[in-house]
Amino acid sequence: MPELLSRADFHQLGRLYVLTRAKRIEPAQVDVAGSDINLFVGSQAYCAHAISRQLAARINALLLDGAEDEDLDRYAFDRYQLTRKGSSAALGELTFSRSTYAAGAGQVDAGQKIRSLTGIEYITLTAAVFSATALSSTAYVRAVQAGRDYQVGRNNLRTIDGLASLWDPTLKVNNDEPTAGGNPREDNDVFRERIRQFWQVARRGTLSAIRYGATQVAGVESCTALEVIDQDGHPARLVELFIADGSGVASQALANEVDVELDEWRCAGIRVLINLSTPQIVSVQLHLTFAAGVDTATLTDQIRNAVVTFVNSLPAGRSLLRNSLGSVLARFQPSGLVPDDGSIVLPTGDLAPTTGQTIRTTLSNVTVV
């Protein structure tokens, strides 16, 4: 905190006081290392410095941009009754199927445990009901453990625990689409931005309010809302909403939770059509120039990681702008990077995602030439 007095500043204040005011001791003793007055001034300078830092930290905790962690939680709840989103479990839909209906009618109850090819556990949230002539039925599922590591791709949920105890032991299971919504606990920056948008969407019923309402659902990290216009240029009383979790995907089960939440945010009589986003992986190629004497290997790794973080923070449906990538590189100029017009080789222009997709990248897709 450069605006605060340092311990040396406080020591100098104490020293000047002794030199100008002391009457019962020799003032010059304040500069004698180990003397009583030298130790007293030094210890009080340390205490004053600690107190000033504590006061500054507590004042900072009362401000949106200064509060962190538990202080930010208190700030949000005291002023807006908002709470931080905890880590969320991935949601998805799967299909139970059988080759014949010889076993007749039956159902797979909610709470049935399903395992992925890699051993990740899911449980059914709804029952899969089979009529006497049905060969397949669907159910929604949720990961047993929260977080992004427990999302699975399509065709991954394949094992039914306790299959022999079900009414039809010939059942098979599969998920045609990936699961989505497995996000970590909301971090300070994301939570702070959600708090900052509170007053902008307080009236509700607007596009920004619909976007904000969707992000209240655990597992939804970004979304884009578009108003549908009819052929005469008038509002068609329909809003298209694209949702995505932190990895750029969504599932129908996650969309159902958003649909319920939006009853509190959309205008009465206005339908919100929720579309599922899928990631669109893009490549970024850089040609970097450094100042002499810089640890180029370490700085290159930091730049690549920063580019990945930026690209993966883009909301659903948002374009990737070359100027924005340039701004990311400019942050490393004080560290020894010399950005110029040729620093970004790819993309050669702004990238607009296909409708229903979210631009994402990986560390292996960010290369330096």
The DSSP annotation for 301-312 comes to: HHHHHHHHHHHT
Whether residue 66 is contained in a domain is answered as: no
Helices (H), the chain: 7-21, 36-60, 69-80, 188-196, 207-214, 252-261, 296-311, 322-330
- CB atoms near residue 72 (< 10 Å): 19
In a domain, 81, yes or no: no
> Do 166 and 196 sit in the same domain of this protein?
no
Q: Which residues constitute the domain of residue 239? A: 188-276
Q: Which CATH number fits the domain that encloses residue 253? A: 3.30.300.30
255 and 203 housed in the same domain: yes
- Please check whether residue 247 lies inside any domain of the structure: yes
Cβ-Cβ contacts under 8 Å for 9 (sequence gap 6 or more): none
**Residue 277 to residue 247: CA distance in whole angstroms:** 10
Task: Kindly state whether residues 264 and 205 are assigned to the same domain.
Answer: yes
From 120, 141, 174, the end of a domain falls on 174
Beta strands in 63-187 (DSSP E): 91-97, 106-108, 113-116, 121-124, 128-130, 136-143, 157-160, 172-174
Task: Verify that 268 and 291 share a domain, yes or no.
Answer: no
Domain total for the chain? 4
Predicted pLDDT of residue 130: 95
8 A C-beta contact, residue 247 and residue 151: yes
Is 1 inside a domain boundary? no
CA nearest 255: which of 323, 341, 356? Answer: 356
pLDDT beneath 70, residues of the chain: 1-2
Whether 182 is in a domain gets the answer: no
C-alpha 134/C-alpha 164 separation (Å) is 20
Indicate whether 352 and 320 sit together in one domain. yes
Same domain membership, residue 241 and residue 295: no
235 occurs within a structural domain:
yes
Structure tokens at 162: 């306790």
Q: What is the DSSP letter of 205?
A: S
The answer to whether residues 193 and 167 belong to one domain is no
Q: Are residues 258 and 311 located together in one domain of the fold?
A: no
Q: Are residues 362 and 322 located together in one domain of the fold? A: yes
Are residues 272 and 193 located together in one domain of the fold?
A: yes
Cβ neighbours, 10 Å, residue 141: 29
Q: Please indicate, yes or no, if residue 33 is contained in any of the structural domains.
A: yes
Residues 216 and 170 placed together within one structural domain of the fold: no
Contact 242, 223 (CB under 8 A): yes
| Number of Cα atoms under 13 Å in the Cβ half of residue 151 | 25
- pLDDT at residue 224, as a whole number: 86
DSSP bridge partners of 278: 357
> The sheet that has 91-97: what strands, in order across it?
157-160, 113-116, 121-124, 136-143, 91-97, 172-174
Please name the amino acid found at residue 223.
Answer: C
Q: What is the pLDDT of residue 1?
A: 44
Q: Taking the model in full, what pTM does it have?
A: 0.68
H/E run at residue 237: strand 235-244
Flag whether 325 is in a domain.
yes
Encoded tokens for 276 = 């599922």
Give CA–CA dist 207/274, Å, rounded.
13
* Residue 133, Ramachandran bin (φ over 0: left; ψ between -120 and 50: alpha; else beta): alpha
Looking at the fold, whether 253 and 312 belong to one and the same domain comes out as: no
pLDDT digits (tens, 9 = 90+) for 207-241: 989 999 999 999 998 888 889 988 888 888 899 99
Q: How many angstroms separate the CA atoms of 170 and 184, rounded?
A: 37
Say which DSSP state 267 is in: P
What residues pair up with 223 in beta bridges, in sequence order?
A: 243
Q: Residue 241 is encoded by which pair of tokens? A: 């909403």
